[in-house]
Amino acid sequence: MKKDLLRINDLTKEEILDILDLGQQLKYETKHSIEHPILKGKTLGMIFEKSSTRTRVSFEVGMLQLGGNALFLSSRDIQMGRGEPISDTARVLSRYLDGIMIRTFFQKDVENLAKYATVPIINGLTDDEHPCQVLADLLTIREYKKKLNGLKVCFIGDSNNMVNSLIFASIKVGMHITVASPEGFTPKDEIIKEARETEKQCEGSLQIVNSPQKAAVDADVLITDVWVSMGQEEEALERNNVFKEFQINDEIMKLAKEDAIVLHCLPAHREEEITAEIFEKHADEIFEEAENRLHVQKAILVKLMSEK
């Protein structure tokens, strides 16, 4: 039976840790020029309805390093962008490819692609979820903190797709996450409800506040993202005004633990969600996080595609 990666909460704690462990191993082998052509002869189709620097390059390079091939497909390149049902695209591409990564708007489109495809589907991003990014975040946190269980994580900013995936990932691995967002920009009720159910089975926890200062107290990890995501450009002025107090800056960092790290999934808008000073002070962590997209995604590809 094929496996997909559609949402973080579909993974068990053990599956998350397995991906991180394999990603760490592949990272070591890459750094030491040890070849690992595990997916030799296999092809990944990459559907992009939303553009991205890191997602495209990391998946494409990852497949090449694994001995396979990657095929870029924009909405202009396939009939799905011109009205063909997702079900038909899924069944056709399944006959050509060994796996499909899709970066798109609607979570239901990814779910439908997985329903009709006979090859593994990887969610490269939707408006609701960003599982690959959050797995890279976990790997980075573990590298710097040498553990995950028991850490205090705080996210400051808009409760977007990053936050949705981060909430479930944190709870699953035993971290305690506090999300600080303005009124009206906190996680959706259905996310909170699902998170409370997940808490019952895991060691981690979720707290939601409207104060970035409260969230940052004694934090081991601080995470942020842009205030204006792709597709929200018309709301930029309003959002910048609403979020102006939700910035990771020197005052916020003074409330966190002295050895706290800062992560940002990029691209970063300096002097908006994070000051240039704090960004540069924590640039090593942030760009290690970006690199880890490559290694974690290679682990995902191996886990999903090596058995087909």
Domain 8-130+291-306 and domain 133-290 have a common topology: yes
pLDDT tens column, 126-161: 999 999 999 999 999 999 999 999 999 999 999 999
pLDDT tens column, 161-204: 999 999 999 999 999 999 999 999 999 999 999 999 999 999 99
Q: Is 103 a catalytic residue?
A: yes
Q: Is 196 a catalytic residue?
A: no
Three-state SS string across 104-150, please? CCCHHHHHHHHHHCCCCEEEEECCCCCHHHHHHHHHHHHHHHCCCCC
Q: Is 202 a catalytic residue?
A: no
User: In CATH, what class is 8-130+291-306?
Assistant: alpha beta
Domain ranges of the chain: 8-130+291-306, 133-290
Residue 37 in this model has a pLDDT that exceeds 60: yes
Residue of 133, 154, 176, 220 marked active site: 133
For 133-290, CATH number out of 3.40.50.150, 3.40.50.1370, 3.30.479.30, 3.30.70.890 equals 3.40.50.1370
Distance CA 51, CA 294 (A): 17
Please give the pLDDT value at position 231.
67
Residue of 137, 293, 295, 297 marked active site: 293
Structure tokens at 145: 């903190």
Please give the pLDDT value at position 78.
84
Whole-model pTM over 0.85: yes
pLDDT tens column, 274-287: 999 999 999 999 99
265 is in an annotated binding site: yes
Q: Is 18 a catalytic residue?
A: no
Residue of 7, 98, 130, 176 marked active site: 130
161 is in an annotated binding site: yes
pLDDT tens column, 210-236: 999 999 999 999 999 999 876 667 777
Q: Is 239 a catalytic residue?
A: no
Distance CA 298, CA 300 (A): 5
Q: Is 82 a catalytic residue?
A: no
